[in-house]
Structure 1
Amino acid sequence: MAKPSRQTVRDLRRNSRGAVLQQLYFNGPMSRQALGTATGLSSGSISTIVAELAGEGLVEDAGTVDSDGGRPRNLLRVRPGCACLIGVDVGETRVRVELFDLGLTELARYERPLEGRGHDVASVVRHIADGVAAVVARADVPDELLLGVGVGVPGIVERGSGDGAVVHGQTIGWDAVPLESLLRTSVALPPGARLFIENGAKTLGRAEMWFGGGQGASDAAIVLFGSGVGACVVTGGTIMGGTHSSAAEWGHTVVQVRGRRCRCGSRGCLEAYAGAEALIQRWREAGGALPPDADEESAVTAMIAAAFPQDGAAPDPVAVAVLDETAEYLGAGLANLINLYNPERILLGGWAGLQLAPYMLDAVRGHATAYALRHPAGQVVIEPGRLGPDAVTVGAATLPLAEFFARGGRRDAPVAEADLVPERTGWRAVAGAQV
C-alpha cells in the first residue's frame, strides 16, 4: 500500500522554487514556457515563482528569443551575483580556498603550502579560517550574500556524531578528528552561512559530474591522482557513499600481495605504486636525480622532463621505466573499477593526473583494457578531467550550492536533513536537467 505524502504546501512551494532555479541554473537562459515544460508546473505557478525569484534578486532577464509565429519570448537566468560560495581543498601539499559567485566564477583565492607531512590539525584549521576571512575581505562580500563553505578533505568523513563531521585520515595522521566542530569555533561565518565537509575525491567527482567531463553519464568513476590516489564512483547517477563518506578508498585496494609498504601502513596498495609520492620515491630508489629541496609537484615536473626531454636529448631510461610501471599499475587499478562498476566513463583528475595524462594516458588505457574483462572494457571511455587543478574547490563549493537548491533559494526555508546529504539526494536530483 502506498504511503500518503507528508509534504505540506510549504514543502511543495519550496520544491517548485528549487525546480525552477535548477532548470535556469543548468539549462538557462530559458523562457517561462520552456520552464513550464521542463518542470511540469502550470503557467500560473511559473509566473508566480518567477516573480518571487526576480523580486528577491535571484533571477534576471536575459534577452528574448523568437517564437513560432508569435511574439518574442523573454528569457530568464539565475543572476550570478545574487550569492557567493566558498570551496576549500585540504590537499596533500597545500590548503586552497576559493570564493566564487553563483556562476562559479572565481572572485578571490588564498593558498598556503603544507610543509613536509604538515597536516597538523591546528595548522589546517588556522589556514582554512584565515583563507575564508581573506577571500571574503578581498572580494568585499556582504554577509547576506555568502551561502556557505564546502571543505574537501583526504580520508573518510563520518557523519552522525554530536561533533558533526569527523575525519579519519589515516595517510595524513588524522584519527577521528572532529573537523566540523573545530571549524565551527574557528571560522567566522555570517548568520545563515553553512559549513559542509566532504571527501576530496568526492568533491572532485561532483564538479566533473555537474560541470565537466561527467555530464550526461549515469555511471562513472572520477580519479583523483595527487600525492596519493582516490576515486569517486557514480552509479545510476548517484555518488556512492553515505554516513561513512570515503569515496570507496580505491587507492588502498591491494594490487601486489606482500608488495611495497603504503603510507597507510599496509602493503601492496595501489597508492604505493601510483600516487605521486610513491612515484617520486621509486624514481629516487632507482637512482633518479631529483632537484635539491624539490616539492612533489616540481619533482614530478622534473621526472617528466627527464623522460620526455624537449631539447633533443636522450630520454632518461630510469624515469621512462618508472613511468611505464606506474602506467601499468594505474591501468590495473582502473581495470578493477571497470570490472566492479562497469562505468561508461573514467576521468583522470588531480594535479599529478592532469600533469601526467598527456604522456601516459594512452598506455594507461592499454593496460586497463588488458586487465579488465573484455565486455565492460569495450564500453568505457577513459579521458582527462576537464576542470583542471581547481576541480576539488569547485566541487566543494557545490555543497552549499546544492543546499541552496534544496531550500528553494531561501536561507531560512525548513528542509529535511536527509535532503541536504549529497549522497542521498544524488547529483541527478540537483542537476538532473543536464541528463
Structure 2
Amino acid sequence: MSVRSGRTVLDLRRENRSAILQRLYFDGPLSRLALGPATNLSSGSVSNVVADLVSDGLVEEAGSVDSAGGRPRTLLRIRQKSGYMIGVDIGETRVRIELFDLALTELARTEKPLTTSGPRREDRYDVSVVVAHVRDGVAKVLQQAGIDAGQLLGVGVGVPGIVARAPQDGVMVHGQTIGWDAVPLERLLRGSVDLPPSVPFYIDNGAKTLGQAEMWFGAGRGASSAVVVLFGSGVGACVVSDDLRSGRAVEWGHLTVRVRGRRCRCGALGCLEAYAGAEALLERWREAGGCPPPGADEESALTAVLAAAYPSGPKAEADTTALAVLEETAEYLGAGFADLINLFQPERILVGGWAGLQLGARFLDSVRTYATSYALSYPASHVRIELGTLGPDAVTVGAAILPLADFFARGGRRVAPEATEPAPAWKNTLRQRAAH
C-alpha cells in the first residue's frame, strides 16, 4: 500500500519509529504526551509506535512524573541493553577497539600499537597486520564483556584516507599517506573477523567519525553547522551542516599553502599537512636543533616540545626554538582555518585528535588570532573556534555511532540479510553454455 507522497505505509512507520527513538535517545526519558510535540506526531501515532518499540524490547518504562491535576505520566527511555556496537579507530599510532551498549557505555576496550616493521613509514600500516589487529580486538572485547556477537548492531571503523565503494568489494580505502591504494577493507574484514553475516561493517574516514561524535555528544551539540578538525600526525576535517546527519570528510590537510614548499607525506609539495601535522611539527623542530628524547614516539616527542616551549618552573626559561616552531605551526593552522571559514562559513570549528588536544587551549589562542587575520571579517566574526570535548577516544566513539545512526534511520530494525533473487533465464542459459 502506498500514500500520495509516493512513500509506502511501511516507510511512514519506519520514519515514525525513527523519530521517536531519536527523541528518546537524545532527550529522554520522556512521556507519551511530551513525545507528541517533540516529533510532530499525533497522540494515536505515538501510542502505536511506543507499543511496537516496547514489544520489540527497544523501549522501557523509566518511572513517572506528576501531571497538572491528572494521574502521573509514565516516562519512557531507550533500553540500553537492547543492542551493542563496536567502534574501531585505525589511527596513526595504534588500532583501538571498544565495545559499547546502546547508551554508549564502554563495556570493554583493547588496543594494539602500530610499529614500523620495515625501512619505510608505510610498513607501519601493513594491511594484513591491521586486519589481524581488528580481528583479534573484536574477539577480545566481546569475550571480555560476555556479549554474543549476534547482539551487535554493527562494527564501525574509522580509517585514514578517502573512502569509496566498489560493487564487488564493498568499501575501498584510498590512503595515500599510509601507502593504501584501493584497499578492499570491507571484504578483508568480512573474511577475517569472526562475526555472523548479519552484522554489518560501517567504514568511514576518521575525521568524519570524530565529527559525528562531537556533533552528537560533544562541543558541536546545538550547532547548525560546524567543521570538526582532526589534528594528529596529519590533519583532516569533517564539514557538518546538520547536527544529526553525518558530515562530509574533506582532505583539508592537502590544500596547498606554499607553492614548491615542503614535501608532504602524500608526495606533493606545500600541503598544509607538511607544516601543521604533528609529524611535520616535530620534523621542523629537529631541523631547527630541537632534541626529542631518544626513542620517543610522536606523542612523547610532542610533550617534549611543549615542555621546552612552556617550562613549568618559575625561573625556567622557554626554549626559543620550540616556541618559534609552535608559533609557525599556529600560523599555518590559522591560515588553514581561514580557508575553512571562507569556504563553509561554519558556526563552529572544533579541534580534536590527540595532538590538537595535547597542544590545548594555549596554542589554540594563537591559532584563533591568525585565523581571524587571514579570514574574511564577516564570517570570521560569526565563528567560534574551540577544542572538542570528547577526548582522544572520540574517533572510536564516532565509529560506534555509525551503526547506531543507521539503526535509528531504519526505525530500530536490524539489517536484514539480502535476499537472493533468481537470475534471468538468459543468464542461466549462457552459464550452461559456458560450462560446456
Taking structure 1 as the reference length, what is the TM-score of the superposition? Answer: 0.91
Q: Select 1:173's aligned residue among 179, 183, 187.
A: 179
1:291 is matched with which residue? 293
Partner Cα separation in structure 2 for residue 302 and residue 275 of structure 1:
16
Query: Is residue 192 of structure 1 aligned with residue 207 of structure 2?
Result: no
Contact kept? 2:85, 2:100, Cα under 8 Å:
yes
Could you say if the C-alpha distance between residues 161 and 413 of structure 1 is closer, same or farther in structure 2, counting changes exceeding 3 Å?
A: closer
2:88 is matched with which residue? 88
Match for 2:357: what amino acid?
L
Partner Cα separation in structure 2 for residue 289 and residue 191 of structure 1:
51
Q: Deviations over 1:75-123 (max 9, x none)?
A: 1100111111011000111100010111111110010111133000100
Match for 1:304: what amino acid?
L
1:353 is matched with which residue? 356
Match for 2:59: what amino acid?
V
Match for 2:170: what amino acid?
G
What is the deviation of 1:51?
Answer: 2.0
What is the deviation of 1:192?
Answer: 2.3
Query: Please, which moves more after superposition, 5-14 or 384-393?
Result: 5-14
Contact kept? 1:224, 1:349, Cα under 8 Å:
yes
Partner Cα separation in structure 1 for residue 81 and residue 108 of structure 2:
14
Q: Deviations over 1:372-424 (max 9, x none)?
A: 01111000000000111111011111110011112211215699xxxxxxxxx
* SS of 2:363 mapped into structure 1: helix
Match for 1:71: what amino acid?
R
Contact kept? 2:211, 2:247, Cα under 8 Å:
no
What is the deviation of 1:138?
Answer: 0.5
Partner Cα separation in structure 2 for residue 208 and residue 414 of structure 1:
32
* SS of 1:185 mapped into structure 2: helix
1:65 is matched with which residue? 65
Q: Select 2:126's aligned residue among 117, 120, 126.
A: 120
Contact kept? 1:64, 1:74, Cα under 8 Å:
yes
Query: Please, which moves more after superposition, 10-19 or 155-164?
Result: 10-19
Contact kept? 1:21, 1:408, Cα under 8 Å:
yes
Taking structure 2 as the reference length, what is the TM-score of the superposition? Answer: 0.91
Query: Please, which moves more after superposition, 341-350 or 403-412?
Result: 403-412
Q: Deviations over 1:177-201 (max 9, x none)?
A: 1111111101111342111100000
Q: Select 2:150's aligned residue among 144, 154, 158.
A: 144
Contact kept? 1:146, 1:190, Cα under 8 Å:
no
Partner Cα separation in structure 1 for residue 360 and residue 341 of structure 2:
19
2:305 is matched with which residue? 303
Partner Cα separation in structure 1 for residue 226 and residue 72 of structure 2:
40
What is the deviation of 1:258?
Answer: 1.1
Query: Is residue 378 of structure 1 aligned with residue 370 of structure 2?
Result: no
1:32 is matched with which residue? 32
Identity %: 67
What is the deviation of 1:255?
Answer: 0.8
What is the deviation of 1:4?
Answer: 4.8
Q: Deviations over 1:195-227 (max 9, x none)?
A: 110000000001111111111111210000000
Could you say if the C-alpha distance between residues 66 and 363 of structure 1 is closer, same or farther in structure 2, counting changes exceeding 3 Å?
A: same
Query: Is residue 337 of structure 1 aligned with residue 340 of structure 2?
Result: yes
Please show how residues 308-323 of structure 1 align to structure 2 within 5 Å.
Answer: 308-312=310-314, 313-323=316-326
Q: Deviations over 1:45-96 (max 9, x none)?
A: 2222222222222111112122222222111100111111011000111100
Query: Please, which moves more after superposition, 70-79 or 331-340?
Result: 70-79
Partner Cα separation in structure 2 for residue 287 and residue 344 of structure 1:
40
What is the deviation of 1:240?
Answer: 4.9
- The CA RMSD measured in Å over matched residues stands at 1.6
Q: Which runs of 5+ in 1 are unaligned?
A: 242-246, 416-435
Q: Select 2:239's aligned residue among 233, 241, 254.
A: 233
2:47 is matched with which residue? 47
Q: Which runs of 5+ in 2 are unaligned?
A: 419-436
Q: Select 1:162's aligned residue among 162, 168, 171.
A: 168
Contact kept? 2:212, 2:247, Cα under 8 Å:
no
Query: Please, which moves more after superposition, 182-191 or 89-98?
Result: 182-191
Structure index of larger Rg: 2
Contact kept? 1:223, 1:348, Cα under 8 Å:
yes
Contact kept? 1:235, 1:341, Cα under 8 Å:
no
Partner Cα separation in structure 2 for residue 357 and residue 343 of structure 1:
21
